[in-house]
A and B are shown apart, each in its own frame.
Chain A
Amino acid sequence: MNNVFVYCEITEEGHVAEVSLELLSKGRKLANELGIKLEAVSIGDDLSHVPEEVFPYGVDVVHLADDKRLFPFTTLPHASIITKLFEQEKPEVALFGATSIGRDLAPRVASALRCGLTADCTSLEIGDHTEAKAGKTYKNLLYQIRPAFGGNIIATIINPDTRPQMATVREGVMKKEVAENAKQGIVQMIPVEEFVKPEDFVVEIIERHIEAQKINIKGAQIVVAGGYGVGSKENFNLLYDLAEVLGGQVGASRAAVDAGYVDHARQIGQTGVTVRPKLYIACGISGAVQHRAGMDQASMIISINTDPAAPINAIADYYINGTVADVVPRMIKYYKQNSK
C-alpha cells in the first residue's frame, strides 16, 4: 500500500522497455526518500523473464498480468487492469513512459481514478507545499516539473489531494542505473479474468508494422547535431562524416527535420529525444528553447554558427563563428591527423 508504482512497458522484442528501466531507477530513489517500497507492473503475454529484468533496479514487488490477449497493447484491457490494481494497492506515486503506449494509457487510468496526471515531466522531486489560503501544509508531495506553453515556461505541478500522483516521462530523461543492494523481490500474479471485461476487447488489431529501434542517439557520448543552418541534405553528410570519425551519432533540430534534411528519429528536443552526451556539437542550430530542453544537460557544448547572436551560443562552452561547410571538414582533418 502507498508505494511507488512503475508501469513497465513490454517492447516488440518482448523485453522491458528502456524508458521503464529508467523510471524504475528514478522510482527507487523516490521510494528511498519517502521510505516506501518500489513496485513494478507489467502486462503482456509470456512475462516469465520480467522479474529478472526488473529486480536489479531495486524492485520490491512485481505484478504480472500474463495472458495471450494482452499483447500487443490495446488500451481498454490494460487500462482496466491498471485501474483495478491501483484501486486495490493505492499507490502514492505512479510513473509511465511518455511513449505511444504510456501517453495513451495513463490519461485513461487517471480519468477513471479521478486523479491528477502530468505529461512529459523533465524532473521529479519530493517537496512540501503550503496552501496559503487554508494554511494547510502538505508533506512529501511529488513535484512534477515540465516545460509548458511551447517550452517558454517551466511549470512545477503538484497533486495535493488525490492519489496516486501520476506522471509520464520521456525516454532518455531519467538515468538508468542498477540499485545498490538489489534483492530478489516478490512476484505477484494478477488474476486477469477478474480484472478485464469481455467488452474490453472490442478494438481489433488488423495489421502491425513495428520496426526495431535502429538509431540510438540517446545513449551516444558524442552527438553532432544539425539545424536549419546546415543548409542542405548534402551538407548534412559532413555531419555524418564528423560523427563517424569521432565515434558519435548525428542528431537534428526540428527545423532540420521539417526541412527534410534528416529523419525524424534523429530529432532532439521537446518533441524528439533528450540526450545527455559528454560532447554536443551544434551545427547551424539557433537554439530555440524546445531544442535546448533536449540537450542542455550535455557536459560540453560547441556551437558552430554564422550568427554570433544565436541563443545557443549563450549556453555553449565554445563558439565557432563560421559555416558548417568551412569548419566541419577542418575538424575532421585535424582529428584524423592527430588522434591515436
Chain B
Amino acid sequence: MSFRIIVLAKQVPDTRNVGKDAMKADGTVNRAALPAIFNPEDLNALEMALKVKDSIPGAEILIVSMGPGRAAEIIRESMYRGADGGVLVSDRKFAGSDTLATSYTLSLAVKKLAPYHLLIAGRQAIDGDTAQVGPQTAEKLEIPQITYAEDVVAVDSSSITIKRRLERGIEVVKSPYPCAVTVHGSAAPCRPRNAKLVMKFKHARTLSELQEETKDYTEMRADRPYLNILEWSVDDIQADVEKLGLSGSPTKVKKIDNVVLQAKESRQFSSDEKDIDQLMKELIASHIVG
C-alpha cells in the first residue's frame, strides 16, 4: 500500500487586505472586491505534506477542497507545487454549512479516499478563524488529532512525530496512523511552483471547467489521466442531505452587525512641550496616572 497523504485546503476571500473598496456604501462587506486566495495556513499544511513525501519513497499527496467551481484553482496550484492530484467537493446543497456540516462533508470525501496515513490541514481559515474543522473532521473519522503542528520531527512507515506550537511553549508528540494534523502558521512556508510541474499540470481541469473550455482536450486527457481533477457531489459521497448545508448546521447566524466606528469627541493636542505638559497635568489631576 502506498503512503497516502490527504491535504484539506480552502479557497478564501483575502480578509487580511481589506482595502477602502472592500466596504460598500451601506457598510457591508463587498466580497467581490476581495481576491480569492489559497488559505495561508493550508499552504503551510501543503509544505508539511511535501516534506513527508520527500522522505517516504512512493508517497502521494491528494488535495481535498470543498467550495464552488473556481476553488479548483487551489487544487491546480497545489499540483504546481508537488501534489499528485485532488478532489473538489462541490454542490449547491453544501451552501450555508457551519463547521459541523463542513466536517461531515469532508469526512465522507476523505473516507472515499481511504486507506490513507495522514490527513493534514491548516489550523484555521482566515475567513472564519474558528480552527474547528480540523478537529471535527478527525472526530468524524475517529482518528487522533495533532493540532498546531510546527514541524515534522520524524516520520516512518508506522508513526509520525510532530513538534507542536502552544501558546506558552512547545510539545513533541508521536502518533500512529492514520492521524489528523493541523498546521500552525509558524510552520515552514510553502515551496514555490516548480516549472516542470506547471507544464505538466497546466491543463488539469475539473469536468465543469472542461465544459467551459473552447478547445477540445478529450484526447489529451485520455492519454494523461492525471489531468483530471475529480469533482464530487452530494451523491458521489453518499451524504445524508439532512446533515448538510443549513439543515445540518446547528449554529445559526441571528444577526450581523458591521463594525462601525463610534466617533467620540476627541481632544487634539500638538506635540509641543506646552501641550504635552497640559495633557499630563490633566491626567495626573484626574488620577488617571500617578
Q: A residues near B, CB below 8 A?
A: 12, 72, 74-76, 79, 99-100, 103-104, 106-108, 110-112, 114-120, 129, 143-144, 147-162, 202-213, 222, 246, 270-271, 278-279, 289, 300, 302-303, 311, 313-323, 326-327, 330-331, 334-335, 338-340
Contact = CB atoms under 8 A, between A and B. Distances in A.
B182 to A, nearest CB: 9
A49 to B, nearest CB: 21
28 contacts: A100-B166, A100-B167, A103-B131, A103-B132, A111-B100, A111-B103, A115-B100, A116-B249, A119-B129, A119-B132, A129-B254, A143-B254, A148-B128, A150-B16, A153-B258, A154-B259, A156-B256, A161-B250, A206-B174, A208-B171, A209-B171, A222-B289, A278-B288, A279-B289, A317-B264, A320-B276, A335-B290, A339-B290
Given A152-B258, A203-B173, A157 B167 contact: no
A330 B271 CA distance: 9
B105 interface: no
A182 B170 CA distance: 38
A206 B127 CA distance: 34
Interface string B97-128: 01110010000000000000000000000111
Interface string B232-256: 0000000000000000011111111
A319 B250 contact: no
A143 B251 CA distance: 11
Given A108-B145, A203-B146, A279-B288, A321 B261 contact: no
A48 to B, nearest CB: 24
Interface stretch (B2-10, B55-63, B135-143, B191-199): B135-143
Contact of A75 (B145, B166, B258): B145
A228 B16 CA distance: 16
Given A155-B253, A205-B173, A335-B290, 14 more contacts: A104-B135, A107-B133, A108-B135, A148-B129, A154-B257, A156-B256, A205-B172, A206-B173, A210-B166, A246-B289, A300-B288, A318-B268, A338-B284, A339-B284
Question: Which of B16, B133, B259, B277 counts the most A-chain CB atoms under 10 A from its CB?
Answer: B259
B169 interface: yes
A147 B256 CA distance: 9
B136 A334 contact: no
Contacts of A270: 129
Contacts of A335: 280, 284, 289-290
B127 A321 contact: no
Contacts, number: 238
A120 to B, nearest CB: 7
A151 B15 CA distance: 9
Interface string B194-224: 0000000000000000000000000000000
Contacts of A314: 261-264, 266
Nearest to A105: B135
Q: Say what secondary structure dominates the interface of chain B.
A: mixed
A316 B264 CA distance: 7
Interface bin, chain B: 35 or more
B263 A107 contact: no
B21 interface: no
Given A111-B135, A314-B264, A319-B268, A100 B148 contact: yes
Nearest to B185: A271
B255 A104 contact: no
B251 A320 contact: no
A218 to B, nearest CB: 13
Interface string B149-183: 00000000000010000111111111110010000
Given A104-B145, A210-B169, A334-B280, A319 B256 contact: no
A299 B166 CA distance: 32
B175 A202 contact: yes
A319 B263 CA distance: 13
B275 interface: yes
Given A153-B29, A156-B254, A210-B169, A117 B290 contact: no
Contact of A338 (B15, B170, B281): B281
A208 B130 CA distance: 26
B172 to A, nearest CB: 4
A212 B99 CA distance: 33
Contacts of A322: 270-271
Contacts of B98: 116
A160 B252 CA distance: 8
B281 to A, nearest CB: 7
Contacts of A114: 100, 250
Contacts of A119: 128-132
B46 to A, nearest CB: 22
Given A104-B145, A320-B275, A150 B18 contact: yes
Nearest to B255: A156
A213 B135 contact: no
A99 B167 contact: yes
B95 interface: no
Contact of A116 (B251, B256, B277, B281): B251
